[in-house]
């Protein structure tokens, strides 16, 4: 099916462990984004990418690493997870020529113990 | 510093009533203002959007009102239905859509 697929949907890990959240899109959209959703904060941009091999920081990038070697994939890595990174993470994509609409995945719920 | 401020945090409306959610922004460079709707367990989805060259945009029961001088915009849901129960986010963007700033969200509950 076309769209954005995030994996895993649920993950429990421990403080200090490395975690990678995967994101795959089938539309060949140029832009991809990672947001985290926390109660009272809405959606906050972590990193975004305008094309393969081009990434840039968003509002809350500390503690996260991204890469984009292929247009369709945009993994997010927490190199040493902390409890404050417990959140729901959303990947999104967009194509500016289509009015800038963001297409979101269904989210990955991460719990750091 | 939050770029877009949204209120209220939660809202309860009777079926058939009007739901109103408000947002305010400071950066006058913003030129695109979408609203996203999110159901539990799902990602947000675009509901309706407006640009600052118009004061109102209507799509079905959903209307955005935009006040450029006050730097405020709001979502009105007419004849609210239980199926409208969701979390709503306002957002703002500028230029080439590479960054969207979201409000903190409003959880709407429409009572049958």
Contacts of B17 (CB under 8 A, 6+ apart): B80, B110
Rounded CA separation B38/B64 (Å): 17
Question: How many beta-carbon contacts under 8 Å exist across A and B?
Answer: 60
From residue B96, how far is each of A49, A112, B30, B86, B99 by CA, in Å? 13, 35, 11, 28, 8
**First vs last Cα of chain B: how many Å apart?**
38
With a pLDDT cut of 90, the percent of chain A lying above it is 86
Residues of B in Cβ contact (< 8 Å) with A90: 43-44
Residue A66 clears pLDDT 70, i.e. is over it: yes
Residues of B in Cβ contact (< 8 Å) with A59: 101
The beta-carbon neighbor of B98 closest among A50, A90, A107 is: A50
Rounded CA separation B96/A32 (Å): 13
Per-residue pLDDT reduced to its tens digit, A20-29: 999 999 988 9
Kindly state the average pLDDT of the residues B46-68: 94
């Amino acid at each position: 099916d076309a769209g954005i697929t995030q994996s895993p949907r649920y993950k429990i890990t421990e403080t200090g462990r490395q975690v990678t959240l995967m994101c795959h899109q089938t539309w060949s959209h140029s832009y991809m984004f990672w947001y985290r959703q926390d109660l009272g904060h809405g959606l906050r941009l972590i990193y975004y990418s305008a094309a393969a091999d081009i990434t840039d920081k968003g509002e809350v990038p500390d503690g996260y690493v991204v890469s984009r070697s292929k247009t369709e994939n945009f993994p997010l890595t927490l190199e040493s997870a902390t409890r404050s990174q417990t959140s729901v993470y959303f990947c999104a994509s967009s194509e500016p020529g289509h009015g800038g609409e963001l297409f979101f995945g269904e989210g990955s719920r991460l719990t750091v113990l | 510093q939050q770029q877009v401020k949204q209120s209220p945090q939660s809202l309860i409306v009777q079926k058939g009533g009007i739901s109103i959610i408000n947002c305010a922004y400071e950066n006058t460079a913003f030129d695109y203002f979408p609203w996203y709707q999110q159901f539990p367990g799902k990602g947000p989805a675009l509901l309706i959007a407006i640009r600052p060259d118009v004061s109102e945009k209507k799509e079905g029961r959903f209307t955005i009102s935009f006040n450029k001088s006050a730097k405020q915009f709001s979502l009105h849901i007419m004849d609210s239905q239980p199926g409208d129960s969701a979390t709503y986010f306002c957002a703002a963007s500028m230029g080439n859509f590479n960054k969207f700033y979201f409000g903190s969200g409003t959880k709407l509950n429409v009572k049958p």
